[in-house]
Amino acid sequence: MTDKPPVLVVEDDDALREFLVRALKVDGYAVQAAPDAASALGIAEGQEPAVLVAEVFLKGMNGVELVKQLRQRQVSTQVVLVARNIPTYTVVAAMKQGAFDFVEKPIDPDYFLLVVRRAVEHWRLTHENQALRRLSGLAAQDRDGMVAESPSMREVCKTIELVAPSDLTVLITGESGVGKELVANRLHALSRRQGKPFVAVNCGAIQETLLESELFGHVKGAFTGAHQDHQGLFEVADGGTLFLDEIGEMNLDLQVKLLRVLETSEFRRVGGTKLVKVDVRVVAATNKRLAEQVQAGRFREDLFYRLNVIHIEVPPLRERADDIPALVRAFLEAHHRKGLPRREVSPEALAALTAYPWPGNVRELRNIIERSLILCRGETILADDLPAALVRGAHTEAASRRSEPTYDLATPLAEVERRHILRVLGANGGNKVRTARVLGINVKTLYNKLKAYESAAGRVEGI
């Protein structure tokens, strides 16, 4: 077994093709061969060899056009072209399209293998640089404010990094405003489709009667008002990523059609008969629990499992307070780029922002920062510049956290229960009827528990 990356040879001369394949195999490469450019493109897109060795003057699509096609399809394979008496203008054209090097015929095997080794090394460096860019991108916040200071968001980012290079369907879940579209954007940006379209559609914001046409397009005359052919978003996103936000709002009939596209990569426009084939990665998102929607008969089970190949749960902002300071900095910088003045946030204001439970999640935080920037009178955003309801909510939340009983994780359950009962009893001034009502037990059960505590400790204070 060789550790050298695969090489693809494209040559319409059978004897020369066999010669090149044999030379590469002797040097330890795993080699595939193709007689024409069309076959080579199919192999390269499916397996992406490190190096493609191609004859310049192939019949049909020539070697220079093959290089162009590979680059348009975001394939990072390095291309070594071979030919006899290559014109200078052909060399220039091929280099502009991204060819790595040329080898003149008749081919010197030693020189040919040297050029292939250099191309392999260049391919490896390219992949290593891409990996480093992905890792550095995950460690830092991006322009859209996606940060990962908290452990839970670091886990989300690790999952994105692992999943992004594949074409697997991803289902992103989380409350409204947590940043599900940011996750979808990051998946696209770190994928091999990053140079292709990223198309987002909110399935809940478009009328049911129009959503099918929006996704799949329609032909002229398909319905009243269809005055011309219309390209759907699946076609617009061809080669890239289609983000279906609020997928839980899609009706059952349309879910059937979406399932077929996911399974076959083809569909018909509304009113049309011609099959349209596309290469689209689908990423879906919802703030609903789709498993519960399936049980209720509002979402197809087969579509749920087809979408839920990879599941990414984005935690609510209240569960990742460590992200708030970094998010605040990101939003301040983003608003400054839009023309708003540069401001700092006082420690007191930041403390209030961190303590607030954020029912609207990251979207609410972004809006609050923008509002505070506009209303702030000085160079620093103070607690007084924040909405009064937010400051009150932060104080209430902080007081609630301080009042919550804290127990060592090694404390036995019976002891946790004892402390809680006595705490509630004290809060109710020793009134056993009210205490039993708060605890959700009957008075007799409460009396029995208190008597047991008395027997164990001799007496219980406050009884």
Q: What is the pLDDT of residue 413?
A: 80
Last residue of a domain, one of 267, 294, 315: 315
If asked whether residues 48 and 197 sit together in one domain, one would say no
pLDDT of residue 136: 45
Q: What pLDDT does residue 74 have?
A: 59
Maximal C-alpha separation, the chain: 105
Measured CA to CA, the distance from residue 354 to residue 325 in angstroms comes to 8
CA nearest to 57, candidates 32, 28, 36, 75: 36
CATH assignment of the domain containing 341: 1.10.8.60
Are 185 and 231 found together in one domain? yes
Asked whether residue 380 is domain-assigned, the answer is: yes
pLDDT value of position 183 = 94
- How remote is the C-alpha of 194 from its chain's centroid? 12
Q: Can you give the pLDDT of all 463 residues of the chain as single tens digits?
A: 456 788 989 888 888 889 999 999 988 888 988 888 888 888 877 677 888 888 888 887 887 888 788 777 656 788 888 888 777 777 777 777 778 888 888 888 888 898 888 888 877 776 655 554 444 444 444 434 468 888 889 899 889 988 998 889 999 999 999 999 999 999 999 998 988 999 999 998 888 778 988 899 888 888 777 778 888 899 999 999 999 999 999 999 999 999 999 999 999 998 888 999 999 999 999 999 999 999 999 999 999 999 998 999 999 998 888 899 989 988 888 888 877 788 899 888 888 898 888 999 999 999 999 888 888 888 899 888 888 888 776 666 555 555 555 555 666 787 788 878 877 776 665 677 777 877 888 878 888 888 787 666 544 344 4
One domain for residues 292 and 152: yes
Shared-domain flag, residues 164 and 280 = yes
CATH number at residue 184: 3.40.50.300
Q: Are 115 and 80 in contact (CB under 8 A)?
A: yes
Q: Which structural domain range is residue 153 located in?
A: 147-315
**Residue 404: its pLDDT value, please?**
53
Q: Does residue 322 form part of some domain?
A: yes
What whole-number distance in Å separates Cα of residue 103 and Cα of residue 119? 12
Q: Evaluate whether residue 142 is within a structural domain.
A: no
What are the phi and psi torsion angles at 100 (to 5°)? Answer: -85, -45
Do 159 and 277 fall into the same domain? yes
End of a domain among 315, 331, 355?
315
The whole-number pLDDT of residue 92 equals 72
Q: Supply the pLDDT for residue 126.
A: 66
Nearest Cα to Cα of residue 30 among 54, 59, 51:
51
**Could you give the number of structural domains in the chain?**
4
CATH number of the domain bearing residue 431: 1.10.10.60
Q: Is the same domain home to 172 and 291?
A: yes
Cα gap 226→218, rounded to integer Å? 8
Does residue 151 sit in the same domain as residue 293?
yes
The verdict on 125 and 200 lying in the same domain is no
Last residue of a domain, one of 131, 158, 188: 131
Cβ(270)–Cβ(216) under 8 Å? yes
Same domain, 155 and 302: yes
Please check whether residue 53 lies inside any domain of the structure. yes
Neighbours of 443 (CB within 10 A): 12
- Residue 74 falls within a domain, yes or no? yes
Residue 247 in tokens: 């997928």
* Amino acid 248: pLDDT: 94
What's the burial of 140, exposed, middle or buried (CB within 10 Å: 0-12/13-18/19+)? exposed
State whether 48 and 125 are in the same domain. yes
